[in-house]
Amino acid sequence: MNPDILAALNRIKVIDYVAEIPISGDYVSYRYMYSPCSASKREARYNKPGIDCFYIADSIETAQHEVRFNFDNKELYTVKPGSVFAFDAQKFAQKFSFMPHLTGAQKDGGYQFCQDIAEHLTANEGLSGIYYPSRQMALEGKTGMCIALLPNTWQLDSGKLEIFERKT
């Protein structure tokens, strides 16, 4: 883990960076048709290869930007209404001047930065949600927010997270 990130995470009260995100029906996720409630185990911004992660976005536009052109075998699902308690990665990054890392490209270490945060929070704080700005929307001068859900095994039902409904 990056020692600067670890030092910053150890200096804060994590609870001060946890936000309740109301999910009102606008949040969506592109899911694989053959397994819509299963996590992606492919490496992405907040998960290393083999780690379960569910990515949801605050709008269809944000989800399309995040998925980009990788729509093969995917369908759009809405997220059932409720609340998610998630670590506000943007608030944390702004306080410690980490914004370039938070929204950085994979080749520039952006994934590693975010994966380090996720790994620390899930392993040490029991927190499985991270709220963060969409890099792809920001590249176009737009605003969109996403949530990465990294549930513990006990939070899953036969490896599935039953929070998705197919968008009609």
Predicted confidence pLDDT, tens digits, the chain (168 residues): 889 999 999 999 999 999 999 888 788 888 777 666 666 777 888 888 888 788 899 999 999 888 876 666 778 888 888 888 899 999 999 999 999 888 888 888 888 999 999 999 988 888 889 999 999 999 999 999 999 988 766 566 655 666 666 665
Count of beta carbons in the 10 Å neighbourhood of residue 114:
26
- Read off the amino acid at residue 110: G
* pTM of this structure: 0.87
Can you tell me whether residue 165 is helix, strand or coil?
Answer: strand
Residues 6+ apart with CB under 8 A from 109: 101
Q: What is the pLDDT of residue 151?
A: 76
Name the strand (E) or helix (H) holding 19: strand 18-23
Can you tell me whether residue 134 is helix, strand or coil?
Answer: coil
Domain locations in the chain? 3-166
